[in-house]
Amino acid sequence: MLLLEYYDIAKYFSHIYCNIEGNKFANLVKDFGLEVGSLVVFENEDKEVCNALMAGVLQDRIIKVEFNG
């Protein structure tokens, strides 16, 4: 959420889904009845990027976040 607020884009997001067991992206699509093509993913963990891809999220809709510090 801090990242979205920092860039003043939080208002463009209807849901933030995190800390879910299993593949959170597959669960998100199922739980909310969303089209996987409508997702934009911000993720910092390689494992979760792979999970997003396995759930059907397109590579160009996944933004890999890297923290420096």
Those residues whose C-beta lies under 8 Å from the C-beta of residue 36, and which sit 6 or more positions away, are: 25, 29, 55, 56, 57
**Residue that has been written with the tokens 């923290």 in this structure:** 67
Rounded to 5 degrees, what angle do the CA atoms 55, 19, 61 make?
Answer: 40
Q: Are 63 and 42 in contact (CB under 8 A)?
A: yes
Domain locations in the chain as residue ranges? 15-64
pLDDT score, position 45: 92
pLDDT digits over 5-42, tens only?
Answer: 888 998 988 877 776 788 999 998 998 898 999 899 98
Give the single-character DSSP code of 62: E
